[in-house]
Structure 1
């Protein structure tokens, strides 16, 4: 994923009580992503009190990456099911046309 710097906007977000300045193409998405990351980190911070911010950040990154991989697997499974249905439909159309 490449960021087009000519079309970026600068936003300020707060994640786990630290303010960050981000360059984003889509402000609304940037805020939503930052809010999501902050939520994941706060949840982990409450589950593992006393851990430093780096540990919480790594745990959050691992959790978010796992979510991403699970969603990709679901997408691939759905894509495979659609391909199978299309092949079946194509075979049925071929049979009908050959009658």
Structure 2
């Protein structure tokens, strides 16, 4: 029987008991399903043999995706900052012009 803070997940037909806060249970289960799917995908390609190698390749692929998405978010944030700066400059200019007219 599981302890309240222990979650059992299955990855490549192996069970792992992991301790986590109850509030993180759904996230942990989702992460385990995602990892299991990636590992099965790699294993079924037939290009990588052995659970350890499959796990490393899955970790590399997931990390690559994460870093790529982070880079994309950083670029979007930079673009948003530039846009906000431009808008603020326009507002400052409009306010300065309005003050000069008064």
Into which bin does the TM-score normalised by the smaller protein fall? Answer: 0.7 to 0.9
**Structure 1 residues 49 and 91: CA distance shift in structure 2, 3 A:** closer
Whether 1:18 and 2:14 are equivalent positions in the alignment is: yes
* TM-fit CA distance, 1:50: 6.8
Rounded to whole Å, the distance in 2 between the matches of 1:57 and 1:75 is: 27
Q: How many residues align?
A: 92
TM score, norm. by length of structure 2: 0.85
The Cα offsets for residues 50-87 of structure 1, whole Å up to 9 and x where unpaired, read as 71100100000000000010110111011011101100
Could you say which residue in structure 1 is the equivalent of 2:75? 77
Could you say which residue in structure 2 is the equivalent of 1:4? none
- Answer with 1 or 2: which has the greater Rg: 2
Secondary structure of the 2:83 match is helix
Q: Structure 1: give runs of 5+ residues left out of the alignment.
A: 1-7
TM score, norm. by length of structure 1: 0.88
Secondary structure of the 1:68 match is helix
Moved more, 23-32 or 43-52: 43-52
**Structure 1 residues 97 and 58: CA distance shift in structure 2, 3 A:** same
